[in-house]
Amino acid sequence: MKKTSTRLADGRELIYYDSRDDVVRDAQDLRPLDATSTATELRYDPLLDQWVVIASHRQGRTYHPPADECPLCPSRDGRLSEIPDSDYDVVVFENRFPSLTNAAAAVLSSADGTVGGSGPLPDLTRPGVGRCEVVCFTSDHDGSFADLTPAQVGLVLDAWTDRTAELSALPGVEQVFCFENRGEEIGVTLGHPHGQIYAYPFVTPRTERMLAAAAAHRRRTGRNLFDDLLAAERAGGERVVVAGTHWTAFVPYAARWPYEVHLYPNRRVGDLRALNDAERAEFCTLYLDLLRRFDLLFDPAGGSRTPYIAAWHQAPVRSAPPGGGGEPALHMELFTIRRTVGKLKYLAGSESGMDVFINDVSPETAARRLREVSP
């Protein structure tokens, strides 16, 4: 992999990841861009003990442009985009409309990074310091992640890993989250195959709950919760979709979404940086297999694409759960909001109001269906 870093016209960083070492990336961004303007802050919710990101500047972000105006396509035929070069393998760049940005540090007013707000309690506000990046998986506007070759997936995995390392080293970053949203039903506003990476200045609520559960399990049993869950699914097999030498994909026992698959390396590691060569190679083929199964779920002919979210769960950069012993494990969660042909799973009253999910598809049925639609 060859990595080339450059700057866009407004100062944002852009990084090319190429499979060939002889590629030269010296194209300049010729757009007359103004400097980015962001207004992002963190507000603390004392009732739920978590932070909420307020990013009002994102109301003006690019929204469903026509294909010939896609900002994620290469710059070609006189049309300039976010990627100055006329072609690319994988590109990562700072989001022009970020939810979190290091520029927010300019509003710091105290040594501990808090800013007194007008909320019901003092010190409920902090600047939204962090970083948000866009990952373009391919220059093919009409493609998808499932269309990539294993070698191309390997390059994306290399980019995810490199960004995890780089972002983890930034001051104040506590967790790095790599993810992909696909499909308008999910809320995607750009059709080009892409994902994102968030570098949070706190440990996310979902991860904190996992870590607390793992710490409690350790205290009760002396064992690691993630190891026990994986071992139980592999031993039972009813909810296993694909089992490889180095990875296992299974529908969790208490799945929240109609079709939800968790993908674990069989050897527990904390984040992407710890994967060895064999694990990285098998991931590329097994993950493509899963994505293609998702596309076949609702269209056996393979003519449509299933909307999904693919989310990497990695260990926090520095934080540990209260009491220690959490030993978090790297894994991916892949799920779709589609529950059957033409019908979506909406987060209605119980889910949105009380965070109690009601699943219309049994996990065992979902696993069986995913096994049956082998690509």
Positions annotated as catalytic residues are 194
Q: CA 375, CA 372: separation in Å to the nearest integer?
A: 9
Around 164, how many Cα atoms within 13 Å sit in the side-chain half-sphere? 22
Largest CA distance in the chain: 64
Among residues 330, 247, 234, 310, the alpha carbon closest in space to that of 281 is found at 247
Q: Going by C-beta distance under 8 Å and a sequence separation of 6 or more, which residues neighbour residue 47?
A: none
Q: Give the Cβ contact number of residue 363 at 10 Å.
A: 21
- Residue 283 — φ and ψ, nearest 5°? -55, -40
Q: How far apart are CA 115 and CA 47, in angstroms?
A: 19
- Pairing state between β 338-340 and 308-313: unpaired
